[in-house]
Amino acid sequence: MSADGSAHSAESAESTENAENAEEMEVRDPVSAPDAEGRPRRTTRRFPLFTKDTARPEGGGRAASGEAPAPARQWPMLAVLGTVGLGLLVTAFDLFRLGTLLVGAALLAGAVLRWVLPGVGMLAVRSRFTDIVTYGVLGLSIVMLALMAQPNPLLEIPFLKDTLHFTVSN
């Protein structure tokens, strides 16, 4: 019985210690837990009402040194936007195929720049992999569509023509 009594007294001493620690801690939310220093910290999975900061994407640093003027630090983004603008201008002057090829080539160049350069400035929007895939797929699809555009397509894919006739005729 003394073994049970000593075990019981050890449990009561431990519960008294836990009760003293609980009195010291201030609980702000129904879902809070102490951090490493013992302060209560919110552990809810709900997003905060106001975002305090966001993580910079991988490779989102400056493309040139901090002493360089702002446009020079963002040269990859300016090169892609300049080429897209030139493509849209060429398209406006009734050279549809050449203009859309320029737009697609600019996006493909953006994918290559994102892959090759360690810092691409504002061209980095998401993770490196996601940016490369997004720029690459969009650029390739725009180039392919420009090559297949009527009249006189430069690229003909036979099964697409059969598929189109099948869907239109039925």
- What are the tens digits of pLDDT across the range 87-136? 999 999 999 999 999 999 999 999 999 999 888 888 888 888 999 999 99
* Both tokens assigned to 170: 């039925």
> Does position 54 have pLDDT exceeding 70, yes or no?
no
Contact 165, 145 (CB under 8 A): no
Q: Return the DSSP state at 94.
A: T
Please give the pLDDT value at position 47.
61
Please give the pLDDT value at position 96.
92
Choice between 63 and 76, residue whose per-residue pLDDT is larger: 76
> Does position 6 have pLDDT exceeding 60, yes or no?
no
Segment 65-83 shows an average pLDDT of 83
Nearest CA to 62 out of 152, 134, 2, 124 is that of: 124
Mind listing the pLDDT tens digit for each residue in 8-19?
555 555 555 555
Q: What is the dihedral of CA 40, 46, 49, 50, to 10 degrees?
A: 80
Please give the pLDDT value at position 165.
65
Mind listing the pLDDT tens digit for each residue in 87-101?
999 999 999 999 999
Q: 48: Cβ–Cβ under 8 A, 6 or more apart, which residues?
A: none
**Other beta carbons within 10 Å of 158:** 7
Coil, strand or helix at 41: strand
For 17-21, the CB contacts below 8 A with 24+ separation are none
Whole-Å CA distances, 34 to 26, 104, 140: 9, 52, 51
Average pLDDT, the chain: 76
Segment 14-29 shows an average pLDDT of 54
